[in-house]
Amino acid sequence: MGLNLDDKKAVVAEVSARVANAQTIAVAEYRGIEVGDLTVLRAKAREAGVYLRVLKNTLVRRAIAETPFAGLSDQLTGPLIYGISEDPVAAAKVLNDFAKGNDKLVLKAGSYAGNTLDKAGVQALASIPSREELLAKLLGVMQAPVTGFACTLAALAKKREEEAAA
């Protein structure tokens, strides 16, 4: 059964609200995917903070009109699942990682920073480390000199203790 006009307006409003805060939209075709697999994909998306939903393409076109994602409208054909995220790489990463293990989910397109991406572009975006990974690496780099200095001081103190005891 189709949606009535009020339901359609509610869906457009919900998607518009998500798109307003989003940095990335990734789109994949899900033709023939099992319900259990789709449930697993949704769980992974929730963990990553990605809004993942199967939507009518016409409603999404209305929601993204006059936004930086409007260029994506030409790619919205067929049975699609939409990943929308505030994190620049999360939506692409979730869909790309799942597509690697499930050949029935096919990446189709995406949009990031006002640029429309093809399948290869979405895969490239997915290969970029997430913000958390980059911050962890930066913290490790910043801690290395301090840790080295502390170890040097400890070794020097131990050496002086041994010299004093002798």
Query: Looking at residue 155, what is its pLDDT?
Result: 83
pLDDT band at 8 (very low <50, low <70, confident <90, very high): confident
Q: Residue 38 contacts by C-beta under 8 Å, 6 or more apart in sequence?
A: 30, 81
Q: What Å distances lie between residue 103 and 65, 97, 149, 151, 154, CA to CA?
A: 31, 11, 51, 51, 55
Where does residue 28 rank: exposed (0-12), middle (13-18), buried (19+ CB within 10 A)?
buried
Q: Residue 68 contacts by C-beta under 8 Å, 6 or more apart in sequence?
A: 111, 113, 114
pLDDT band at 1 (very low <50, low <70, confident <90, very high): low
Query: Looking at residue 40, what is its pLDDT?
Result: 92
Query: Looking at residue 25, what is its pLDDT?
Result: 92
> In the Cβ-directed half-sphere of 16, how many Cα atoms lie within 13 Å?
13
Edge to edge, the sheet with strand 51-54 lists 51-54, 80-85, 24-29, 106-112, 115-117
- Mean pLDDT, residues 30-38 taken together: 89
Query: Looking at residue 43, what is its pLDDT?
Result: 93
Q: What's the DSSP call for residue 160?
A: H
Condensed to tens digits (0 to 9), the pLDDT of residues 53-104 reads 998 999 999 999 888 898 898 888 989 999 999 988 889 999 999 999 888 8
> In the Cβ-directed half-sphere of 136, how many Cα atoms lie within 13 Å?
5
Count the Cβ atoms, other than its own, within 10 Å of residue 165: 6
Task: Please check the confidence at residue 108 and state whether its pLDDT lies above 60.
Answer: yes
Query: Looking at residue 138, what is its pLDDT?
Result: 80
Condensed to tens digits (0 to 9), the pLDDT of residues 117-153 reads 898 888 888 888 777 777 887 887 787 777 777 778 7
Residue 21's φ and ψ, nearest 5 degrees, are -100, 0
Which sign, positive or negative, has the C-alpha torsion 106, 14, 23, 45? negative
Q: Residue 137 contacts by C-beta under 8 Å, 6 or more apart in sequence?
A: 129
